[in-house]
Amino acid sequence: MTDYSQLRLLAIHAHPDDESSKGAATMAHYARLGARVMVATCTGGERGSILNAEMEGDVAAERDLTGLRRHEMAAAAAALGVEHRWIGFMDSGLPEGDPLPPLPWGCFALQPLERASAPVVQLVREFRPHVILSYDENGGYPHPDHIQTHNVAMEAYRRAGDPEAYPGTGEPWTPSKLYYDRAFNPERFLALHEALLERGLDSPYAERIAAFQESDPEGHRPPVARHETTTRVRCEEEFPARDRALSAHRTQVDPKGLFFWVSTDTQAEVWPWEDYTLAESRVASELPETDLFAGIDPTTPRK
């Protein structure tokens, strides 16, 4: 049996609330098994908006949304039983319009790669994770901060163990595996959609599923379907903790919205996993996997 008390997991996210909608039950699962689990949040969500109508008019939300989001993040981390670290960059916002406006000066997405990566490399060298979780090259969806988070996670995974790289940021540490989160896995949405219809219930997923199945004029599928699942972590016992973490982000998450449309019991019956793609690995492991730490021996000497 695996001794998880010697293992460490680092999830690198773009904004406060991303950790609760992507891989939250997995993190709570491993924390409960005894692993050290940390979330790194690259920005403070400073350019976010109030997305929950019930919070409209809330004095704290309207006067200091950034400050309130820090409190929300602390509550979410406590709900999951994980550690948390702010990386400290400025939210880039999600540009809208045609043509798209330029990104704000000094924002996270405009930082040179080495500048954006240095504090994450330092955290990797300090926390010494065996596994890193983050987004694919599309960011999970193409928000500029999510794409930059992917870039930073890849850089930290590949270079934190290089003693010549990033001088002054601590002793080298080489993580063993890096995974892309597949929170937007089309197969999951389709399974939940069909389960709702079989129960005679309305499904909120029809539009999303249609988007997954459409191609652009050149025949390309949507970017969210770019990678295949290699690893499924069964974690349905932690779905309630995930939902508590989501609810903690009350300025960002509508308690009557999409995340809560399907009961935890139905989700546990239909899709009791969270899905990942093993993007890079320095250890041998047999695919498909059911454990992010498969193949890792924490007693093996390393830098």
Asked if residue 90 lies in contact with residue 43, where contact means CB atoms within 8 angstroms, the answer is yes
Q: Are strands 177-181 and 273-281 parallel, antiparallel or unpaired?
A: antiparallel
* Residue 71 assigned as binding residue: no
Distances (CA, A) of 209 to 22, 199, 201: 19, 18, 17
Q: Three-state SS across 189-227?
A: HHHHHHHHHHCCCCCCCHHHHHHHHCCCCCCCCCHHHCC
15 is in an annotated binding site: yes
Q: Is 127 helix (H, G, I), strand (E, B) or coil?
A: helix
- Give me the DSSP letters along 26-56: HHHHHHHHT-EEEEEEEE--TT-----GGGT
Find out whether 11 and 40 touch, Cβ atoms under 8 Å.
Answer: yes
Is 291 annotated as belonging to a binding site?
Answer: no
Residue whose tokens read 């197969």: 187
Region at 128 (left for phi over 0; alpha for psi -120 to 50; beta for the rest): left
State the DSSP H helix or E strand holding residue 73, giving kind and residue range, or none if neither: helix 65-80
Task: Tell me the binding residues for Zn(2+).
Answer: 15, 18, 146
- Write out the binding residues: 15, 18, 146
